[in-house]
């Protein structure tokens, strides 16, 4: 239910997006007594979990960890049903949160923010939407998500296709019935790897078009027993605190041992133990997997050997076994029955490196050496990640500079939270923050808490304009690159580097230094009086919009 549209409103904050980040930001802004308008493009809350309704959609972070920690009551009362939560269950949880904390009254659904322009005179953001709303906001906060701008590749002839086509990230709200159909699926990232086994259960014929094989570890998903939940809940405060201090915000079994500190039989036992346990925990079997190619090769070869042992046709197994990138440097996939699906007689694999797609034709997909006939085509082709959702909004900062223009050579931020020249614009899980390399709910809570604390401090000190300093931003960008260069991540063309979007500047987008370290840096920035930021009082401008939150008082230069 969307609240009524009200043109030319004056609010303290506009928040873009009502997923995990937008909802929690709204909650915290309310605590600060700030008037807030949240705009959400979907007709419901939930962000990525609202849009991703494809068969098999499931989070690859375990349920007991992939949830908010800000409310002890919430985390005690909510019951998860499975080890890894299904999309439908996560969406139910997010809706419960929206109701429980009475958040909906400040959320306007089915509305996209289209433009935001910094008004130098008023020291506020003028925000417009595709519904004709016009707002004046002191703060603009992006909770637009890192994986929300879906990408259907530009393949010639798509408009001529006579069947149905779908993108995993914008799936119909009614279940799609593939029974009896011939289905072509393009893409073998996390989404494709989850969807393929489910679609194969229904369809008469499934053809998977793979450009690059991915490493996938079994989820071994199972129901969560009441006892397991009780155990977690009894220790939630400690466990959450521990998780916040890890690299990924997830309680994995992080090994302290190097790959070559143990002998070959012990190495294999460790990989096997992790494989049997399931999930992305596998990539932490030894502490050098992300840093040392020889160590990485050992972990990768174990997975390749598993693929060869599961997939009966050696030629298919060879195509499915990745050899072109270090394991973990593309987001590791977590699956249910992915590799066994290729043993089914009605499932086949097309290697696009050997036979690229030339065109989509009325009857299906034409590759270099065959035409494949389909009733439906599924694009599991991913996202314009991290920056794509911001690029869709015409954001203009000081002197009319467009954010897109400022970031033409790659995004530049301070802490992933702010960017110089765009005062009072905050990003939740922005480029240059750990975001997509973490349990994003933990990263979101850290960001929202930091931003809320910053705004509170500004309120208390009667400061109304915050902006990243260019020198601090430059140093942060250097640091992000320096840390990435110590790992194997930049050796792989992936969406982490923008390589999946033709023409997108290749920059390593997230901060790979670890969430725990990153949080410590953010805390030190606060302890140093918001080092790296300019905090200015609002100048007394004639005709300036009235303040709508906090108190007007004497200016203090906090830098
Ligand atoms: P993705 O990882 O970017 O995978 C897209 C796939 O489509 C890749 O295999 C890619 O091949 C292929 N592709 C793209 N353009 C193509 C083209 N023109 N022709 C042929 N193939 C093409 O996207 P995703 O699977 O949607 O996953 C994105 C991220 O969302 C994940 O990495 C993860 O962070 C998150 N996610 C998480 C879950 C979960 O929690 N379980 C589930 C889904 C998604 P190349 O590799 O060759 O580019």
Give strand pairing partners of 141.
15, 426
> If you count them, how many residues does the chain have?
559
At 507 the pLDDT is: 81
**Region 110-116: what's the mean pLDDT?**
98
Q: Is the pLDDT of residue 69 over 80?
A: yes
Q: Is the pLDDT of residue 543 over 90?
A: no
CA distance 89 to 91: 5
Instruction: Return the higher-pLDDT residue of 418 and 150.
Output: 418
At 499 the pLDDT is: 83
The minimum-distance atom of ligand 1 relative to the CA of 495 is 3
Taking CA atoms only, the protein residue closest to ligand 1 atom 32 is 331
Q: Which helix (H) or strand (E) holds 467?
A: strand 465-468
Question: Between β-strands 36-39 and 134-142, what pairing exists: parallel, antiparallel or unpaired?
Answer: unpaired
Ligand 1 pocket test: which of 157, 185, 189, 384 has the largest number of ligand atoms within 8 Å of its C-beta?
189
**Two tokens, residue 49:** 């979990």
CA distance 167 to 331: 19
| Residue with token string 């797609």 | 357
Q: Is the pLDDT of residue 452 over 60?
A: yes
At 553 the pLDDT is: 26
Ligand 1 pocket test: which of 187, 278, 385, 435 has the largest number of ligand atoms within 8 Å of its C-beta?
187
**Region 63-82: what's the mean pLDDT?**
97
Q: Which of 198, 185, 210 is nearest to 336 (CA)?
A: 198
CA distance 274 to 469: 44
**Range with the poorest average pLDDT among 185-199, 274-288, 529-543:** 529-543
pLDDT band at 493 (very low <50, low <70, confident <90, very high): confident
At 484 the pLDDT is: 94
At 503 the pLDDT is: 82
Find out whether the beta carbon of 106 lies less than 6 Å from any atom of ligand 1.
no
At 539 the pLDDT is: 57
Beta strands per DSSP E along 495-539 = 533-536
**Two tokens, residue 458:** 């500004």
At 2 the pLDDT is: 41
Find out whether the beta carbon of 375 lies less than 6 Å from any atom of ligand 1.
no
191-221 pLDDT, tens digit each = 999 999 999 999 999 999 999 999 999 999 9
pLDDT band at 401 (very low <50, low <70, confident <90, very high): very high
- State the distance from the centre of ligand 1 to the C-alpha of 188, rounded, in angstroms: 6
Taking CA atoms only, the protein residue closest to ligand 1 atom 40 is 59
CA distance 224 to 72: 20
Q: From the CA atom positions of the chain, what is the Rg in Å?
A: 24
The pTM of the full predicted model, rounded to 2 decimals, is: 0.94
CA distance 335 to 141: 34
Find out whether the beta carbon of 186 lies less than 6 Å from any atom of ligand 1.
yes
Q: Which helix (H) or strand (E) holds 413?
A: none
Q: Which of 388, 353, 352, 387 is nearest to 372 (CA)?
A: 352
- State the distance from the centre of ligand 1 to the C-alpha of 54, rounded, in angstroms: 13
Taking CA atoms only, the protein residue closest to ligand 1 atom 33 is 190
At 6 the pLDDT is: 45
How large a percentage of the chain has pLDDT more than 70? 95
pLDDT band at 555 (very low <50, low <70, confident <90, very high): very low
| Alpha helix (H) residue ranges in 486-556 | 515-527
Task: Round the average pLDDT of the chain to a whole number and report it.
Answer: 93
**Region 498-506: what's the mean pLDDT?**
83
Contacts of 131 (CB under 8 A, 6+ apart): 5, 108, 110, 111
Are 336 and 82 a contacting pair, CB within 8 Å? no
Q: Is the pLDDT of residue 136 over 60?
A: yes
**CA distance from start to end of the chain:** 43
Q: Which of 470, 64, 385, 111 is nearest to 235 (CA)?
A: 64
Taking CA atoms only, the protein residue closest to ligand 1 atom 37 is 190
The minimum-distance atom of ligand 1 relative to the CA of 357 is 19
- State the distance from the centre of ligand 1 to the C-alpha of 214, rounded, in angstroms: 9
CA distance 340 to 313: 11
116-132 pLDDT, tens digit each = 999 999 999 999 999 99
CA distance 417 to 410: 15
pLDDT band at 538 (very low <50, low <70, confident <90, very high): low
Q: Is the pLDDT of residue 295 over 80?
A: yes
Taking CA atoms only, the protein residue closest to ligand 1 atom 16 is 381
Ligand 1 pocket test: which of 59, 171, 211 has the largest number of ligand atoms within 8 Å of its C-beta?
211
CB-based burial of residue 112 (10 Å sphere; 0-12 exposed, 13-18 middle, 19+ buried)?
middle
Q: Which helix (H) or strand (E) holds 168?
A: none
Q: Is the pLDDT of residue 550 over 50?
A: no
At 388 the pLDDT is: 83
Write the DSSP symbol of residue 491. G
Find out whether the beta carbon of 212 lies less than 6 Å from any atom of ligand 1.
yes
Buried/exposed 93-104: b ≥16 CB within 10 Å, e otherwise: bbbebbeebebb
Taking CA atoms only, the protein residue closest to ligand 1 atom 17 is 153
């Amino acid at each position: 239910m969307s609240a009524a549209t009200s043109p030319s409103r004056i609010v303290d904050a506009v928040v873009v997006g009502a997923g995990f980040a937008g909802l929690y930001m709204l909650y915290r802004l309310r605590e600060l007594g700030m008037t807030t308008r949240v705009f959400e493009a979907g007709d419901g809350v939930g962000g990525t979990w609202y849009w991703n309704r494809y068969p098999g959609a499931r989070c690859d972070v375990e349920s007991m960890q992939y949830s908010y920690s800000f409310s002890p009551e919430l985390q005690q009362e909510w019951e998860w049903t499975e080890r890894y939560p299904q999309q439908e269950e996560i969406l139910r949880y997010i809706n419960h949160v929206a109701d429980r904390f009475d958040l909906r009254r400040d959320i306007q659904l089915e509305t996209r923010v289209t433009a935001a322009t910094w008004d130098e005179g008023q020291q506020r953001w003028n925000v417009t939407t595709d519904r004709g709303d016009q707002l004046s906001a002191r703060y603009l906060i992006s909770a637009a998500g890192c994986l929300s701008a879906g990408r259907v590749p530009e393949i010639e002839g798509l408009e001529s296709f006579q069947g149905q086509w779908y993108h995993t990230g914008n799936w119909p709200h009614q279940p799609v019935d593939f029974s009896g159909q011939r289905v072509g699926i393009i893409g073998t990232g996390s989404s494709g790897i989850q969807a393929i086994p489910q679609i194969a259960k229904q369809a008469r014929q499934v053809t998977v078009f793979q450009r690059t094989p991915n490493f996938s570890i079994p989820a071994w998903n199972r129901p969560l027993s009441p006892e397991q939940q009780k155990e977690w809940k009894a220790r939630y405060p400690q466990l959450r605190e521990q998780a916040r201090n890890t690299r990924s915000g997830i309680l994995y079994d992080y090994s302290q041992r190097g790959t070559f500190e143990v002998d070959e039989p012990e190495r294999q036992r460790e990989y096997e133990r992790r494989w049997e346990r399931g999930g992305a925990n596998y990539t932490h079997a030894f502490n050098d997997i992300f840093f040392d190619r020889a160590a990485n090769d050992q972990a990768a070869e174990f997975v390749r050997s598993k693929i060869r042992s599961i997939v009966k046709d050696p030629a298919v197994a060879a195509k499915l076994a990745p050899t072109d990138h270090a394991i973990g440097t593309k987001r590791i996939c977590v699956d249910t029955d992915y590799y066994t699906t290729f043993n089914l007689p009605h499932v086949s694999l097309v290697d696009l490196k050997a036979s690229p797609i030339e065109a989509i034709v009325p009857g299906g997909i034409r590759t270099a050496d065959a035409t494949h006939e389909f009733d439906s085509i599924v694009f599991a082709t991913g996202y314009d990640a991290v920056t794509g959702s911001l690029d869709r909004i015409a954001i203009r900062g000081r002197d009319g500079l467009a954010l897109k223009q400022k970031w033409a050579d790659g995004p530049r931020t301070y802490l992933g939270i702010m960017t110089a020249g765009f005062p009072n614009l905050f990003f939740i899980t922005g480029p240059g923050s750990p975001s997509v390399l973490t349990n994003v709910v933990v990263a979101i809570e850290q960001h929202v808490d930091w931003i809320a604390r910053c705004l509170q401090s500004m309120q208390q000190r009667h400061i109304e304009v915050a902006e990243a300093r260019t020198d601090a931003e430059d140093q942060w960008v250097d640091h992000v690159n320096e840390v990435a260069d110590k790992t194997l991540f930049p050796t792989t063309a992936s969406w982490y580097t923008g390589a999946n979007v033709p023409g997108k500047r290749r920059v390593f987008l997230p901060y790979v230094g670890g969430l725990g370290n990153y949080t410590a840096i953010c805390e030190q920035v606060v302890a140093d009086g918001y080092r790296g930021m300019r905090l200015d009082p609002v100048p007394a401008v004639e005709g300036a919009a009235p303040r709508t939150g906090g108190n007007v008082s004497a200016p203090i230069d906090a830098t």
